[in-house]
A and B are shown apart, each in its own frame.
Chain A
Amino acid sequence: MLVLTRKAEEGIIIDDDVKITIIEIKGGSIRIGIDAPRHMKVHRQEVYDKIKEENQEATQWDIADLSALSSMMSTGRKKS
């Protein structure tokens, strides 16, 4: 991992089109500004981790449960 030291209001440029600025350092938190092209997804790490965890969880299912649920849901389902 590349490690850089930055002060408030200093920045980092990645690959010409991503600009990261340290806006403010206050009380153990750092406010970061990110300028990136629209198509680049920017997520808080914990949001990404949560999805990863949920996907992991979603692989732990049982075929008997699916079968039982399908029967239940096909009767309770909204008619379009």
Chain B
Amino acid sequence: MKKIQSRFGEIEYDPANTLLFPAGLVGFERLRHFVVMPNEKEGPLFWIQSVEDPMVAFVLTDPTDFFLDYAATPGPRERDKLKIDAADPCLVVSVVTVPADRNITLNLAAPIFFAPTTNRAIQVILEGTEYSPRTPLPEVEPAKG
């Protein structure tokens, strides 16, 4: 086990279990290794902490929990970077922005592909997309009795 200092205190992690972004995230190209932090509370949000930079952590979520028809699939080049075949599982995850007013937004324009079999992930900027990098959550309909 190794330890890193983060904005949120000391984090202990297993270097063999870190998530690898071979190309980093957009604007954070040099940060390759992240620790996936377990949920303290149940809910759709989780976060990843950079091993290389204690100040950098991202909140992530599964966008299809909120946008049922949202879909993005990795092409051959992306699968190469993830070191997977077309048959391997690949999950789509969105970066979440959490402003002080807690009105969170999802970056649907640049999803992260995550390959659980190789523990690799890449962020891709979708081409010619209508999706916004700052998409608010859909209005929650009041529960019907």
Chain A interface (Cβ < 8 Å from any Cβ of B): 38-39, 41-43, 47-48, 50-59, 61-63, 65-71, 73-74, 76-78
Chain B interface (Cβ < 8 Å from any Cβ of A): 7-8, 25-28, 39-45, 47, 55-59, 65, 75-77, 95-98, 100, 102, 104, 107, 109-110, 123-125, 127, 133-134, 140
A74 touches B44 (CB 8 A): yes
- With a CB–CB cut-off of 8 A, which chain B residues contact A66? 45, 47, 59, 98
- With a CB–CB cut-off of 8 A, which chain A residues contact B55? 59
B56 touches A59 (CB 8 A): yes
- Give complex CA distance A43, B107 in Å: 17
Number of CB contacts from chain A to chain B under 8 A: 98
A69 touches B75 (CB 8 A): no
- Give complex CA distance A50, B95 in Å: 13
Given contacts A41-B127, A78-B65, 13 further A-B pairs with CB under 8 A are: A39-B77, A48-B26, A50-B109, A51-B26, A51-B125, A53-B27, A55-B26, A58-B96, A58-B98, A59-B57, A61-B57, A65-B98, A68-B102
